[in-house]
Amino acid sequence: MEIAVFWVAAVMAVGGALGVVLQRNPFYSVLALVMHLIALAVLFLLLHAEFLAAAQVIVYAGAVMVLYVFVVAYVGGLEDPLRDPHPAVRATAPLFALVLFVELAIAILGSSLKAIDTHGPGLSAGFGSPAEIGQLFLTTFLVPFEAVSFLLLVAAVGAVVLAGRDEGEEELVSQASPSRHKPGRPLADDRPVF
Amino acid sequence: MDVAWYLILSAFIFCIGATGVLVRRSPLVILISLELMLNGANLALAAFARMTNTHDGQVFALVVMIVAACEVVVGLGLIVAMYRSRLPMDVDEMSELRN
């Protein structure tokens, strides 16, 4: 049973990941990523990481993906253009990724970790439960917890500063546009409507 | 399932994400591919937490998720700012900082 669930979730995760990379429309990429994240949550459950799985579904597949969908809808279709200025670079990139995968596989399978070929040890009753994780966050990992909360605050303020529309911005853009765009390049007015 | 299978799967997802970062040209899709790489790392962390019967890997994975959320917020803010400034939505053409 566990093996069957693992393979179904693994195929869904890899399929979602391939969908993200291969879809030309970013909206479909985001939807493929949602499928990938849910499959990963199933894998987390198989690894007895219940709180991690719940956080994955609620925070990632819920909140972060909604943010992505909003931005895709706001910015528009943005499909990759067909004309590719650097075909050689694009062709070697999958080769590089394949070499990286082979290298990682050799590193994983050739490691001298004894427990890597086992199911994992027998676990205590509350392994992966929110109580255990929360206790660790408030005792052993208190400093990372506070650092990460400060990071979230900085990111929220940074996003408001980056994306906020302030008074002088429109003039700034109209002044800056001629120098930013080379003469022959069309401005973004012919952007496809999503 | 053996822990090794989870690690191989996480390496595979990481490599697919790396391909996406290298191949795609829209900054939005590059951000999504970065998410794939972070999730591959998260799967490896959860697998190691299962293997060693400790929670440290799971705590680390949660921190990675929070950092990923911060990265998404700042990255999407940058994309919206680029859109407002009418910059080209193509990482190959974004060379305003050169020279």
Cβ proximity of A121 and B17 under 8 Å: no
- Find chain A residues with C-beta within 8 A of B29's C-beta: 20, 26, 29, 80
Chain A CB within 8 Å of residue B37 CB: no
Domain range B3-84, its CATH number among 3.40.605.10, 1.10.287.3510, 1.20.120.80, 1.10.10.10: 1.10.287.3510
The 10s digit of each residue's pLDDT in B10-65 is 999 999 999 999 888 888 889 999 999 999 999 999 999 988 888 889 999 999 99
User: HSE (CB half, 13 Å, CA atoms) of B46?
Assistant: 31
The 10s digit of each residue's pLDDT in A23-76 is 888 889 999 999 999 999 999 999 988 999 999 999 888 888 998 898 888 887
Chain A nearest C-alpha distance from B64 (Å): 10
Scan for tokens 């208190």, then name that residue.
A142
Indicate the domain borders of chain B: 3-84
- A130: closest CA among A122, A121, A120, A138? A138
Q: Which among A82, A100, A116 is the top mutation candidate for probing chain B, defined by the most B β-carbons within 10 Å of its own β-carbon?
A: A116
The 10s digit of each residue's pLDDT in B62-77 is 999 999 999 999 999 8
Contact A136 B68 (CB under 8 A): no
Tell me which residues of chain B, numbers 39 to 98, contact chain A at a CB-CB cutoff of 8 Å.
Answer: 39, 42-43, 46-47, 49-53, 55-56, 58-59, 61-63, 65-74, 76-81, 83-90, 92-93, 96
Say whether domain A1-80 belongs to CATH 1.20.120.1200: yes
Helix, strand, or coil here: A41? Answer: helix
Q: What is the ipTM, given to two decimal places?
A: 0.91
